[in-house]
Amino acid sequence: MSNEILHKRIEEQFNSLFVTLPDVPDYVQDNLSHPLREYQAQALKQLIYTQELDNANLSYNHLLFHMATGSGKTLVLASTILYLFKEKNQQNFIFFVNSDAIIKKTYDNLTNESSSKYLFRKEGIVLDGQRILIQVVDVFPTFPDGNTIYLKLTTIQKLHADLTAPKENALTYESLKNMRLVLLADEAHHINAWTRRDKRKLNNKEYEERTWENTVNTLLKLNPDNRLLEYTATINLNQDVLFEKYKDKIVYQYDLRRFMNDGYSKNVVLLRSDEDDESKMLNAILLSQYRKYIAQDNDLALKPIILFKSNKIATSLSANERLLNIVQRLSVENLSHIINIGHATYKHENSIWSRMYEYYTYKPLHEIIRDLQWDFTEETILNANDKAFLSEDNALLLNTLEEDNNPIRAIFAVAKLNEGWDVLNLFDIVRISEGATSTKTTTNSEAQLIGRGARYYPFKYNEHHLYTRRFDLVQTDLKIIETLHYHTINENAYIKNLEKSLESARIQVKKDEYDRLEAKLKSSFKKSPVFKNGKIYINKLVHTTADDYRTLSHYNVTTDYDVPYELTIEQHYGRRVGEMIGGQRHEVTWPVEKIYIQKALQRNPFFRFNHFKDYIPALTSMKEFTESPDFLGNLIFYVTLPLELELHDLSPIVKLKMVEKYLDYVEKKIKINYMKERGTPVFEGMSISEMIDDYYIELNKVNTKISSLSETLQKRSMRDNHWYVYDRAIVNGLESTFIDFINNYIEQLKEKYQEVYLIRNERKVKVVEINGTRGFMPDFLLYLQDQDYTYQVFLEPKGSHLLINDQWKEKFLMSLNENSNLEVLSENENVRLLGIKFFSNEKGKREEFRKDFKEKLL
């Protein structure tokens, strides 16, 4: 058989014109809580391809998905369950893994409909009009219900023990002989210890792991219809024995390098320092707080997490205590000294520290200290090495760090946070008392931790909720919320080994340095009449008025608020009132008393009247806000409680926490929904010489051994293309193809128009949807002039992943051609504004663009 890996052979078939390819069935997407990303859909298609072949039972009963940490393997797994149940009548699924933590996470993913991480349709799975249940079992029923998926969740250790030492109410080989099974192995590299070690003498641990592998293989062979599907981010095919085992089993590969290149991760930046631990920790919390401030300045809700990593438990506990002392001892005087020294040190350097200290020089220091002392306390820091950490409450906090009601900002740990720990809002990893250890084991472990921390934090910005980086090629401070910073020592031998480990793990790492790419206006264009006298037309904006925002409903805020059960029994950030978990519940109505509202308002700086009134211009006083039925006057909570509890059983502090969480929700909604300006159909001219200027793009310098994101940019010389106004085009591949398209038609354009100029719009020209508040900056403007008219043409190359989200932009561009109310304020009546359909590589879209371009311009 060929030495080519299976997924490559499948991909060759997918590129063939003579093979009918499978698609993702509609029922799969319809029954998931999240849309499948393109690569996840491809993974499922390649699985389906193998299972529809005649020899599936023989050649494709054991397959592996090799997918990067954070790429959503569990959503692929959930999709696979739906497909195998519907198409192959598979009902019995055994999910096994090496860690209890992953079992708990997967239980929520696949069975807990109230969990924010539940992967199936919240309203329930429906296939062919029938409601399908997922039932967690210890043993599979002899007479299964046809509309039920049976799922056993277990560790590989327990599965092995149950099968090799049979006992009552447990699986046995005998009971499974006549059943069809699907084995789902997560973090599957753990079961390969025997294969990896080949014929070496085994110690006890290795012998145990060898028997795990034997157990799984025995289960697979019990029935020809059985399937073993493995999921892992970690497999070393450079080892001959592993290559031989898996070359015909890897059905899909999407490694970390592809994952990062496609923008689904944070950027990773190493921060090297010679500082002592206390200085390093203080700088880390200042950087984390700066990240939070930048998000707030842009109306984004973000709670960034810091992980302080140590090699010893005693070191970790001590560092935790020292950080608390540092924060409590802060004064305006010593913080001012720290910021002044930092600002002077980095003033002439292009780094994150330069930006951070520059920002702090203009921010009131007493506010910084107040926020630090509020955000970094005993209640907001978890030490994963403390015995108290073993409590269920702390484990819950650690695995729900993105949730709005989770207060944790910092975690101290030695080695408890590895596989199974999913956190998206981790932005800083800080090594404490690390020394210059540079063993391969140590740096490999750190590389894996960095890979986990690099998971992208999706957030809503400009009305779009995206799951890929959007600021790589944009000059903005918001890059910091798409970046993971790894704070480490400045020791060359150690860094060299770490970089080798990162390269081996295929993690792209950037240094805190930048390349500056400049594009300058051509002198010939600057001398032209178009530059000197021409106009660029953008639509006028009008202010929203107080009348637009007279009630909380105008901000999409409800005052009938459901309080989840977990929130009502949290006290002092995770210490529960009681241990009553599960069981029957009942709902009680709480008309929230004014005293709780007033106290909670006092504890949230956002609701200071002088500041708050900027967001609610119709408001006359805080009394109106607390008492008017248009605002909080009729605030009602519907509180779900265990049957044993009544409202009066809750302490005042628990009730206050409930109101504080509600106000966090109100703050977020008000910030998101309050817009100060909306677009009009009236366009006015702005001088081209004022709007268009030289520009530059900053790119992180990347370790030369690791592939660079900047390779996706093309720095094209445009000196010989007189129709392009800049001396070079700094563009991605799609934009470069777009420029080629214009170049192909330039002679035809010049035959019809006396002036033809293509202008790259680098965040200068912004238009806002008519009678709406969403704005955008078209990538290119085509300036045309003939004997009768001047034309301003808006052009927008658009990646396929943005076509759906940005449909409103295309609709806006099309409306410019049809809107009879459009008014262009110019010195004459000879200006025309035109919008062309998106330029895209998507099938069919390119031809739509070509047709629209030729019809309107040629």
pLDDT top residue among 355 and 212? 355
Determine, yes or no, domain membership for 664: yes
CB 71 within 8 A of CB 259: yes
Q: Where are the beta strands (DSSP E) in 71-124?
A: 92-97
- What pLDDT, in 10s, does the model give residues 784-808? 999 999 999 999 999 887 787 688 8
Is the pLDDT at 704 greater than 50? The verdict is no
Q: Are 389 and 490 contained in the same domain? A: yes
Q: Report d(CA 847, CA 840) in Å as an integer.
A: 9
Residue type at position 804: I
Q: Are 26 and 149 contained in the same domain? A: yes
Is the pLDDT at 109 greater than 70? The verdict is yes
pLDDT at 703: 36
Is the pLDDT at 349 greater than 90? The verdict is no
What percentage of the chain exceeds 90 in pLDDT? 43
- What pLDDT, in 10s, does the model give residues 2-17? 567 888 888 888 776 5
Nearest partner of 762 among 435, 517, 545, judged by Cα: 517
pLDDT at 239: 67
DSSP string for 425-453: -EEEEEE-S-TT---HHHHHHHHHHHHHH
Q: What is the mean pLDDT of the chain?
A: 84
Coil, helix or strand at residue 760 = strand
Is the pLDDT at 702 greater than 50? The verdict is no
Buried b (16+ CB within 10 A) or exposed e, 781-807: bbbbbeeeebbbbbbbbbbebbeeebe
Residue at token pair 């699985």:
47
Q: Are 232 and 370 contained in the same domain? A: no
Q: Are 556 and 527 contained in the same domain? A: no
Determine, yes or no, domain membership for 261: no
Return the structure tokens found at 449: 């931790």
Query: Of 237-241, 282-286, 534-538, 853-857, which range is least confident?
Result: 237-241
Nearest partner of 525 among 794, 353, 726, judged by Cα: 726
pLDDT top residue among 347 and 92? 92
Q: What is the mean pLDDT of residues 50-54?
A: 93
Domain interval for residue 773: 523-541+679-857
Strand order across the 790-795 sheet: 755-760, 780-785, 790-795, 831-835
Cα distance between the two ends of the chain: 57
Q: Report d(CA 469, CA 471) in Å as an integer.
A: 6
Q: Quote helix, strand, coil % in the chain, to nearest 5.
A: 40, 25, 35
Q: Which of 228-242, 581-595, 751-765 has the highest mean pLDDT?
A: 751-765
CB 224 within 8 A of CB 188: no
The upper half-sphere exposure of residue 165, i.e. CA atoms within 13 Å in the direction of its Cβ, equals 5
Is the pLDDT at 27 greater than 80? The verdict is yes
Is the pLDDT at 333 greater than 70? The verdict is yes
Is the pLDDT at 567 greater than 50? The verdict is no
Q: Report d(CA 537, CA 824) in Å as an integer.
A: 8
pLDDT at 90: 97
Q: What is the largest CA-CA distance in the chain?
A: 92
Query: Of 142-156, 192-206, 417-431, 479-493, which range is least confident?
Result: 192-206
Determine, yes or no, domain membership for 260: no
Q: Where are the beta strands (DSSP E) in 736-779?
A: 755-760, 767-768, 775-776
- Tell me, what CATH number does 377's domain have? 3.40.50
pLDDT at 485: 93
Return the structure tokens found at 655: 């009730």
- What pLDDT, in 10s, does the model give residues 117-153? 899 998 999 999 999 999 999 999 999 999 999 999 9
Q: Are 668 and 811 contained in the same domain? A: no
Residue where a domain terminates, one of 626, 657, 673? 673
Is the pLDDT at 573 greater than 50? The verdict is no
Query: Of 133-142, 402-411, 765-774, which range is least confident?
Result: 765-774
Residue 582: which region, alpha, beta or left (left: phi > 0; alpha: psi -120 to 50)? left
Determine, yes or no, domain membership for 529: yes
What does residue 514 show for φ and ψ, rounded to 5 degrees?
-135, 145
Determine, yes or no, domain membership for 513: no
Return the structure tokens found at 488: 């480490």
What percentage of the chain exceeds 70 in pLDDT? 85
Return the structure tokens found at 77: 């797994």
Nearest partner of 593 among 638, 641, 635, 625, judged by Cα: 635
Determine, yes or no, domain membership for 515: no
CB 60 within 8 A of CB 220: no
DSSP string for 325-358: HHHHH--HHHHHHHHHHHHHHHTTS-SHHHHHHH
Q: Where are the beta strands (DSSP E) in 577-644?
A: 585-591, 636-642
CB 306 within 8 A of CB 286: no
pLDDT at 198: 47
Q: Are 417 and 380 contained in the same domain? A: yes
CB 838 within 8 A of CB 797: yes
Q: pLDDT band at 194, cuts 50/70/90?
A: very low
Q: Are 498 and 580 contained in the same domain? A: no
- Kindly give the interhelix angle for 332-346 and 365-375, rounded to the nearest 10 degrees: 100
Q: Report d(CA 484, CA 428) in Å as an integer.
A: 6
Q: Are 305 and 222 contained in the same domain? A: no
CA angle 314, 318, 319 (to 5 degrees): 115
Q: How far is CA 651 from the centre of its chain?
A: 37
Is the pLDDT at 197 greater than 60? The verdict is no
Determine, yes or no, domain membership for 517: no
Return the structure tokens found at 469: 């980086």
Q: Report d(CA 338, CA 282) in Å as an integer.
A: 10
Q: pLDDT band at 515, cuts 50/70/90?
A: low
Return the structure tokens found at 45: 């298609």
pLDDT at 576: 34
Within 8 A by CB and 6+ apart from 376, the residues are 285, 323, 324, 327, 409, 410
Determine, yes or no, domain membership for 327: yes
Q: Are 240 and 291 contained in the same domain? A: no
Q: Where are the beta strands (DSSP E) in 535-601?
A: 535-543, 560-563, 570-571, 575-576, 585-591
Query: Of 301-305, 398-402, 728-732, which range is least confident?
Result: 398-402
Coil, helix or strand at residue 587 = strand
Q: pLDDT band at 568, cuts 50/70/90?
A: very low
- What pLDDT, in 10s, does the model give residues 457-490? 988 887 777 788 888 877 789 999 999 999 987 6
Number of CB atoms found within 10 A of residue 414's CB: 17
Our count of domains for the chain comes to 4
Nearest partner of 726 among 797, 780, 796, judged by Cα: 780
CB 656 within 8 A of CB 637: no
- What pLDDT, in 10s, does the model give residues 310-321? 888 899 999 999
Q: Are 503 and 600 contained in the same domain? A: no
Q: Are 282 and 356 contained in the same domain? A: yes
Q: Are 416 and 463 contained in the same domain? A: yes
Q: Report d(CA 834, CA 781) in Å as an integer.
A: 10
Within 8 A by CB and 6+ apart from 595, the residues are none
- Tell me, what CATH number does 66's domain have? 3.40.50.300
CA angle 796, 799, 800 (to 5 degrees): 125
With 0.85 as the threshold, say if the pTM is over it.
no
Q: pLDDT band at 114, cuts 50/70/90?
A: confident
